[in-house]
């Protein structure tokens, strides 16, 4: 048999092999079908996303805008950020009750947090500084095209904050191994809701104090408003750095609220709640500020004393708590993981 005859004879076999390879490649490229998702947790996550979008919308309005209950535009934007954080904190509990788990929920939760805890607080800070920086009461939003060098720096700080929030959320999705409580006792770096809460609470306090000081001389009120607003870019930058750092931050709910506690422990929790009734804006800003600055100060003080500031993490790719930090009285068993994994709430 000649080589030409052999080639003709092997031609059908080669064609079948090519078709099999093409079929295998087509199956690999075939899109994975999404499983059914629970409605309630997904709606709560989308509510978080809408709250962040609404916060950006109201933050873009002039500061003399009067919203419901006489709130300014930035006060309303801050309230919407806290609403989104609340929805973000309960969607996991709802998913736990419905015993659902989905990769879609995990990704959707991170995207919603990027808007509510990343873009919205940065834009609030940018809008606050924009109100006091231009001369002659001119209304504008600071951008990289501004002639003022300080305006360009402020815009750059806002952009850095958004990038750090995005990287923080992506790192959280990779490092946290699962939805168990013991995997969420300590965060590596400042959680994005903690950073957003620190920025939003200080801006809300700024608006509250400015509203209460309207009876003061005009020059004193304007001086306070201007210089406190110019300090917000520094706060935003510090929060951005803390998010991408490796400083351990405890999970407030899992560390101090979950599990059984003594009667005296519960009684002590009533004191800050009692103070918040009279000084809500002040206590809110104080709580988020302490949560943000205490771990870095504790680490610095420990290093100055020559001691190890924090025990090592249990794993290089995990945010689980070390034994000295983990609370012994944790609920021993948990249902199936949340549809939206344990949220990055402080």
1 domain residue, yes or no: no
Write out the residue range of the structural domain in which residue 274 sits.
36-304
198 domain residue, yes or no: yes
**Lowest-confidence segment of 122-131, 213-222, 326-335 by average pLDDT:** 326-335
332 domain residue, yes or no: no
pTM of the model: 0.76
Cβ neighbours around 50 below 10 Å, total: 17
319 domain residue, yes or no: no
Q: What's 282's DSSP letter? A: H
Condensed to tens digits (0 to 9), the pLDDT of residues 220-254 reads 567 778 888 999 999 999 999 999 999 999 887 76
d(CA 227, CA 189): 29
Number of domains in the chain: 1
**At residue 28, does pLDDT exceed 60?**
no
Residue 261 pLDDT level (bands cut at 50, 70, 90): confident
Percent of the chain past pLDDT 90, that is, above it, reads 36
104 domain residue, yes or no: yes
9 domain residue, yes or no: no
25 domain residue, yes or no: no
Q: Stretch 72-95: mean pLDDT, rounded?
A: 90
Greater pLDDT, 164 or 186? 164
What tokens does 339 get?
């549809």
User: What is the average pLDDT value for the chain, to the nearest integer?
Assistant: 78
What tokens does 322 get?
């070390």
d(CA 240, CA 251): 19
d(CA 16, CA 46): 49
Q: What's 215's DSSP letter? A: G
166 domain residue, yes or no: yes
pLDDT score of 203:
95
């Amino acid at each position: 048999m000649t080589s030409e005859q052999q080639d003709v004879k092997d031609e059908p076999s080669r064609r079948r092999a090519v078709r099999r390879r093409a079929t295998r490649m087509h199956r690999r490229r075939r899109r994975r079908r999404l499983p059914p998702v629970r409605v309630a947790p997904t709606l709560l996550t989308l509510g978080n996303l809408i709250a962040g979008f609404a916060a950006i919308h109201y933050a873009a309005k002039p500061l003399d805008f009067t919203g419901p209950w006489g709130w300014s535009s930035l006060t309303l934007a801050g309230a919407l950020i806290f609403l989104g954080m609340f929805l973000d904190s309960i969607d996991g509990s709802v998913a736990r009750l419905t015993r659902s788990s989905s990769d879609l929920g995990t990704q959707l939760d991170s995207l919603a947090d990027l808007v509510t805890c990343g873009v919205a607080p940065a834009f609030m800070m940018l809008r606050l500084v924009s109100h006091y920086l231009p001369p002659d009461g001119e209304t504008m939003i600071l951008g990289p095209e501004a002639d003022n060098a300080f305006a360009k720096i402020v815009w750059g700080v806002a952009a850095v904050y958004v990038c750090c929030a995005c990287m923080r959320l992506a790192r959280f999705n990779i490092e946290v191994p699962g939805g168990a409580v013991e995997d969420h006792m300590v965060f590596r770096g400042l959680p994005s809701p903690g950073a957003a809460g620190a920025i939003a609470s200080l801006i809300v306090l700024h608006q509250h104090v400015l509203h209460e000081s309207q009876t003061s001389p005009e020059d004193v009120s304007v001086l306070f408003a201007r210089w406190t607003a110019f300090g917000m870019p520094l706060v935003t930058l510090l929060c951005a750095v803390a998010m991408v750092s490796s400083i351990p931050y405890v999970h407030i709910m899992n560390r101090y609220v979950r599990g059984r506690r003594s009667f005296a422990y519960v009684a002590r929790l009533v004191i800050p709640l009692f103070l918040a009734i009279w000084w809500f804006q002040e206590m809110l800003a104080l709580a988020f500020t302490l949560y943000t600055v205490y771990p870095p100060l504790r680490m610095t003080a420990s290093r100055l004393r020559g001691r190890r500031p924090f025990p090592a993490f249990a794993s290089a790719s995990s945010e689980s708590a070390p034994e000295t930090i983990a609370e012994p009285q944790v609920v021993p068993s948990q249902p199936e993981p949340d549809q939206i994994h344990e949220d990055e709430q402080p």
